[in-house]
Amino acid sequence: MGIKQIIAIASAKGGVGKSTICANLAVQFSKDYKVGILDADIYGPNQQIIFNVAKQKPNVKTINGKKVFMPIEVDNIVLNSMGFVIDSDKAAMWRGPMLSGAIKQLKNLTHWGNLDYLFVDMPPGTGDAYLTVASDIKPDFAILITTMSKLSVHDTMKSKVMFDKLKIPVLGLIDNMSYSICSDNNEQKNDFHSINLEQEIGCDLLGSIPRHKDLVDFDLSKKNILFEPIYNKLIKLL
């Protein structure tokens, strides 16, 4: 009953594709499990855009005397996001206590039902949001997202240190957008100088995802084969 495992998808650096990877991992898992997404990126929630449900609103129901949000359901994935309930320009002006309170309420006031996995799309940074997630949402694991940009690697190291301090195990990291695949001949082109991410950040590499048109044209109806090796590794770890 309830949520069996909560997995935080995180990166201190914004713009590394964290939300896209979170959505694709959720789709991959949803073919075999019951999955939910909590979009806790309070400053820039995007999951409702990725899943093309931005114009929908979660219904509010009273269950056991308490009003709760009924998450939007898309195929076998249930979703709730601050993007449904507040204008993004208002959320962008929130300070720490309001930010933390909003994330806590979004999780606790959503009727998730029975889930095998709840993926939490974290906001960038390592501040109040991380502390709120650790103390109130209590994820079982975290997955870090980075590129091979020096700045991204530097900030991802901060995320690793933060999760270690919060005693949240990091399953590994995903290298995103570090190379491209030419659509004409399927040749690989490296976009950054190679960095030993496992050595620099201090956790296992789960896989690398290229810049690819299939990630731009998000297709909920099918698994993306780029994520299958990562999914297979994660299932063995969970």
Question: Can you tell me whether residue 115 is helix, strand or coil?
Answer: strand
Asked if residue 48 has pLDDT above 60, the reply is: yes
Listed residue (7, 233, 223) closest to 120, CA to CA: 7
**pLDDT score for 224:** 75
pLDDT at 123 over 70: yes
The architecture CATH gives domain 3-237:
3-Layer(aba) Sandwich (3.40)
Q: Could you tell me if 30 and 77 are in contact, meaning their C-beta atoms sit under 8 angstroms apart?
A: yes
State the DSSP H helix or E strand holding residue 46, giving kind and residue range, or none if neither.
Answer: none
Average pLDDT over residues 23-32: 94
Specify which of 128-137, 160-169, 188-197, 221-230 reaches the highest per-range mean pLDDT: 160-169
What b/e sequence results for 110-124 when a residue is b if at least 16 CB atoms lie within 10 Å of its CB, and e otherwise?
bbbeebebbbbbbbb
Q: Residue 174: which pLDDT band, with cuts at 50, 70 and 90?
A: very high
> Which of 16-30, 78-92, 192-206 has the highest average model confidence (pLDDT)?
16-30
Predicted TM-score (pTM) of the model is 0.90
Share of the chain above pLDDT 70, in %: 83
What pLDDT does 132 receive? 76
Residue 237's pLDDT is 96
